[in-house]
Structure 1
Amino acid sequence: MRRAIPKIAAFAAVAMLALTTPAQAQDQQAAYFEYTDITRDKAVLKLTDPAKIQHARDLLSGATTDRPHIVGRIVPRQASYNPRWNYHYNSDTVDFFDVAIEVCDATIPYVEDHLDEAGGAFLPGYIWCPWTSRLTREIPAP
């Protein structure tokens, strides 16, 4: 019987891993960061890429000042972790930058106010790169 328990436990662990989808595994590794811009309004983004999470943490700690601004594709609907706004960054597209073209620049409230225009001449392809964006803190998972 003693030998059967470790085998059953190992089988259960393998079964749990098999049932975990890549998205679920990635969500377990997600980190959430508050950001702001020149308006001082705040929003939250979710990062799932370990390298980008580390870059965000390095920005917050002062270990780096490279690529301090946020860029990515927005999704025009509310996210549970960013309830104040009717849009959020698609986590898979978020990155950081130093300099970007003007066509993707807008403030947090301006995007909200003009969300129905996003994806066309305003924020083509839903790409948003607020020039004055900066992370303010890491927050706990909602």
Structure 2
Amino acid sequence: MANPVRFAFTQSAQPNLEFIVELSDEKTIAHARKILSGEEKNEVHVHGRIIKRAAAYNPKFSFHLDPNTIRFFSMAIEVCDANMTYVEDHLDEAGGAFLPGGHWCPWDSKLTREIA
């Protein structure tokens, strides 16, 4: 287990709004860094399970992603795709018919930076 490293991602509908994730798995951290360097071009979108609780490192939202579930993908099923503000606005519905199992995989997520 590595020291936690935080990364920001955006979505095309709101390119100035960042969602912060924390990674603690060495392979996942290395993968994220390859995305940012341009070395990884396929599995570049964020997937993880929602925790309906604010995290200090992601203050604009009342939810965050479980660091142990975060992975990167190239394609995913439509049922887990949603905009971050839509998720925030409908958080009480997440985990049911909306984002079953709490899985969130925004198709247009784009890692933008590592947070020092």
- In the other structure, the counterpart of 1:96 is 72
Structure number with the bigger relative contact order (C-alpha 8 A, sep ≥ 6) is 2
Q: Letter of the 2:57 partner, please give it.
A: Y
Q: Tell me which stretches of 4 or more aligned residues in structure 1 moved more than 3 Å.
A: none
Q: Which runs of 5+ in 2 are unaligned?
A: none
1:30 pairs with 2:37: no
Pick from 66, 81, 90: which aligns with 1:114? 90
Partner Cα separation in structure 1 for residue 108 and residue 101 of structure 2? 20
Please report how far the alpha carbon of residue 66 of structure 1 lies from its aligned counterpart in structure 2 after TM superposition.
Answer: 2.1
1:63 pairs with 2:63: no
1:86 pairs with 2:86: no
Bigger Cα Rg: 1
Question: Which structure dedicates a bigger proportion of its chain to helix?
Answer: 1
Question: Which structure dedicates a bigger proportion of its chain to strand?
Answer: 2
How many residue pairs match? The answer is: 114
